[in-house]
């Protein structure tokens, strides 16, 4: 393990030295940090067909890189379900883009639901074959009395369902227990709408922007190891009233995977993943790096709306993934549209109206790129 040890010892008042390593590639393709092993750039001018190409190919082939990386092969029935889920997800996606704000969450939710089922099917999760499987989140309207405020919106978390399967197969694998959750508490964590949240409420969301996320490696096979590196602008920390150490205190999931180390740049603070992972000859078999990224809960916005990685600012270690968060909020907004349209109309022009006018479209695009990244093991980003 000498090839991945730090180059010095911690000095008083200073973090330990960073590991010495270099960028790494396979067959000329740089290894990427994320839920996939390689970057898959998507043009800002990409058509809907371009955006859906990865999921369409998966539906046609009945398998993806997940199978090559060890996921079980699909039988005929599973392949038929996969094709149906992808085709329905695309129809709802395209309809949501064209819809008026009052209808977007309903269509967006059905896209998210079917895209999730497609992903779970490719993981060959047995519960995706269960007829009528519930979505896992309901409404709690018992307190909606008197003058309506968005702060009165609560999720009713159930004991099982598609939400639980998605949360359990992404991020840290954490799933909320049954109970209620205030929706307004979740909005500051929506990574597609950092600008919209700041503008609407004149305060920072609970996400700290990352300047860069990349991978370094050291040693020679079979004793080669790789690790994640995250750099955060010192200006971003000052704006959030955080020191490098305090960031780790207030971002428990990130701190569970990363340590603060010295940086060779004055304008950024550097963090490295705590445990280097063996670097296999086959990048598709690098689950350690993908898992380290996922478990740190780095929240990736892959869209044109301020594309950026973010650190989740929360003292709680066990949080749901960004995809599960999107699923939960989209489902709740769709329930409002379906069952309480009068409350939705009361929000028109309010500080929450951007959830309907802008967030749904951004979230759908980001969710599609996230699912494409997970099933292909290639990081889909618009750039």
Q: Quick one: pLDDT at residue 142?
A: 67
* Mean per-residue pLDDT, 48-57: 97
**pLDDT class for 330, splitting at 50, 70, 90?**
very high
* Mean per-residue pLDDT, 5-23: 69
Burial of 383 (0-12, 13-18, 19+ CB in 10 A): exposed
71-115 pLDDT per residue, tens? 889 999 999 999 999 999 999 999 999 999 999 999 999 999 999
195-247 pLDDT per residue, tens? 999 999 999 999 999 999 999 999 987 788 999 999 999 999 999 999 999 99
**pLDDT class for 284, splitting at 50, 70, 90?**
low
Whether 197 and 205 have beta carbons less than 8 Å apart is answered as: yes
250-281 pLDDT per residue, tens? 999 999 999 999 999 999 999 999 999 887 66
Q: What are the start-end ranges of the H helices in 171-251?
A: 194-201, 234-239, 244-250
114-170 pLDDT per residue, tens? 999 999 999 976 666 666 788 899 877 766 777 889 999 999 998 889 999 999 999
């Amino acid at each position: 393990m000498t090839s991945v040890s730090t180059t010095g010892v911690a000095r008083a008042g200073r973090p330990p030295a960073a590991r010495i390593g270099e960028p790494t590639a396979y067959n000329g393709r740089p290894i990427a940090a994320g839920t996939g092993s390689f970057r898959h750039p998507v043009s800002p001018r990409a058509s809907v067909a371009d955006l859906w190409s990865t999921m369409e190919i998966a539906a046609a082939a009945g398998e993806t890189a997940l199978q090559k990386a060890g996921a079980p092969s699909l039988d005929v029935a599973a392949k038929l379900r996969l094709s149906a889920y992808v085709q329905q997800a695309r129809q709802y996606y395209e309809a949501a883009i064209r819809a008026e704000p009052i209808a977007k969450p309903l269509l967006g939710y059905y896209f998210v639901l079917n895209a999730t089922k497609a992903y779970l099917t490719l993981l060959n999760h047995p519960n995706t074959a269960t007829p009528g499987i519930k979505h896992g989140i309901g409404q709690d309207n018992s307190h909606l009395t008197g003058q309506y405020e968005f702060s009165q919106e609560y999720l009713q978390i159930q004991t099982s369902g598609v939400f639980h399967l998605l949360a359990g197969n992404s991020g840290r694998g954490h799933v909320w227990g049954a109970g209620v959750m205030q929706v307004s508490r979740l909005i500051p964590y929506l990574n597609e709408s950092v600008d919209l949240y700041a503008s609407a409420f004149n305060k920072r969301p609970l996400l700290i922007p990352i300047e860069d996320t990349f991978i370094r490696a050291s040693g020679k096979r079979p004793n080669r190891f790789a690790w994640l590196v995250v750099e955060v602008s010192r200006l971003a920390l000052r704006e959030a009233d955080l020191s490098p150490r305090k960031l780790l205190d207030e971002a428990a999931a990130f701190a569970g995977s990363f340590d603060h180390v010295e940086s060779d740049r004055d304008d950024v603070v550097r963090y490295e993943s705590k445990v280097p992972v063996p670097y296999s000859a086959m990048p598709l078999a690098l689950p350690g790096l993908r898992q380290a990224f996922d478990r740190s809960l780095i929240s990736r916005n892959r869209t044109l709306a301020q594309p950026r990685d973010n650190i989740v600012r929360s003292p709680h270690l066990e949080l749901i993934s960004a995809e599960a968060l999107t699923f939960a909020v989209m489902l709740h907004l769709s329930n409002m549209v379906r069952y309480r349209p009068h409350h939705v109309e009361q929000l028109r022009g309010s500080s929450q109206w951007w959830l309907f006018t802008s967030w749904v479209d951004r979230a759908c695009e980001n969710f599609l790129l996230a699912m494409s990244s997970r099933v292909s093991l290639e990081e889909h980003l618009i750039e």
